[in-house]
Each structure stands twice: as C-alpha cells, then as structure tokens.
Amino acid sequence: MAPAALVTGAGSGIGRAIAFKLSEQRPVGVFDRNESAAAAVARAICESGRQAIVLPGDVTRARDLSEACMTLSERFGALDIAVACAGVDTYGGLLEAAEEDWHRVMDINAKGVFLTSRAALPHLLRNGGGSLIAIASDAGLVGCPGFSIYCASKHAVIGLIRSIACEFGSRGIRANAVCPAFVETPMSAAYGAAAPRDEMDYWHATVPLQRFGRPEEVANVVAYLASDGASYVNGVAYAIDGGATVELHRGAA
C-alpha cells in the first residue's frame, strides 16, 4: 500500500480537486472544518474505487492536525505527502481594514500552513522523506491594492515554505508553494458576486490567457510537485496564473 497524503481545505474548490487527483495514486485524508463537505468528498473518492478518509478539523488548531497525521500514519502505514490548501480571502482598503481581519486571515492562511507543516514533518521524516506543498497565490508574488492583508499572508506562506526547503532538504523533504491567480472556486465566485462587473472584467484582462484557472489545473501542478518527476524541485514558488504575473497590469481592454 502506498503511503497516504493529507490535504487540508479539501472539502471544496482547489483542495477538493487536489484530493481527487492525489487519490489516483494513494490513500488521501480529506481534512476540512466542514465535516459534511469533507465526508462528501471522501465518499465520492471511495465510490470511484479509491481510498479516502474524513478528517474533520481546523487548521488553526495544532491538535486537530497532529491527530489527523497520526490517524493517516496508523491507518495506512505512512504519510509522505502533505498539502496545506485551507485558506480564506479578504479585500478592501488597508485603512478601512479591521484588526480582526488581519488575525483571521493570518491565522488560517499563514499559521495554518505553519501548523500543518509542524504536524506533518515528523511523519514525512519518519518515512525517509516526502513532499510538503502549500497553496499560496500570485498575491504572494506581487503586491495588489485592496488586498494588502491577503497578500501579506501569502507572502508569509512562500517565505515559510522556502525556509522549510532549506532546513529539511538534506533530510529528504521537498517543500514547494503553488501560486494560483483567480481560480473558478466557490471563494472566487463569492468575490465575483460582490464585485462590480467591470472589476471582474479587469481581472480577466490582466491574464494573458484571458480566463481564470480551473481547480483541476492547480491539482495537476500539485500532483507533479508531489511526484518523483519533481524529485529535484525544492523551494519553488510555482506560478499557475495564465501569465498574470509576467506583465504589467494593463487594465480592461
């Protein structure tokens, strides 16, 4: 039996797609604070003839993550992949932002990756090595007006992952970050529903491919980084953004 993979935030969106993709090769732990959503994902994976278990929990609680990693290791013999995908967004001007917004976003987006890494790394090391992958954002690569707190949280994720790559690379751990731009998920749909139409047109126009990404496209990158095909890839912030971060924003055409 192949070692298992942990995917946080796996109840919907990008995390869901990652859980399905990784389940093609190994058992998957579907970790999410929405237990019913996690159960639906795990059930769908099992109905396709693969293996998955539900791991309800919150990435801001170290104990939840430690117990999840222990459960996976005991159930499947080992854990060699951990994907920190749970995240939230916030937007608005910096001067209007509430201190509570900072704490909420940093707790889930940055502290969540920190706690996931601390919980998973001992198991990956016990396995002789493994892959730790965090879902950051193109907002972790550039600044963006109106998204200061979100950008700060995703820059923190990339800094953390690069430091883990340096600290644990000699022990067989590869740590990488994946940096999507807008992806067609419930979270981006909620943002789009609240934003003016011309604002969404603007974001489309900033992408040379002229569309938003799909969760499955991000999942494919994660699966590659977790695979032996990426055995020499470590400490990378992998942009999957349709080219959005390689040119100056030009505004709506």
> Which of the residues are catalytic?
150
CA distances from 180 to 12, 38, 78, 177, 234 (A): 16, 22, 29, 10, 18
Nearest Cα to 237, choosing from 167, 133, 115? 133
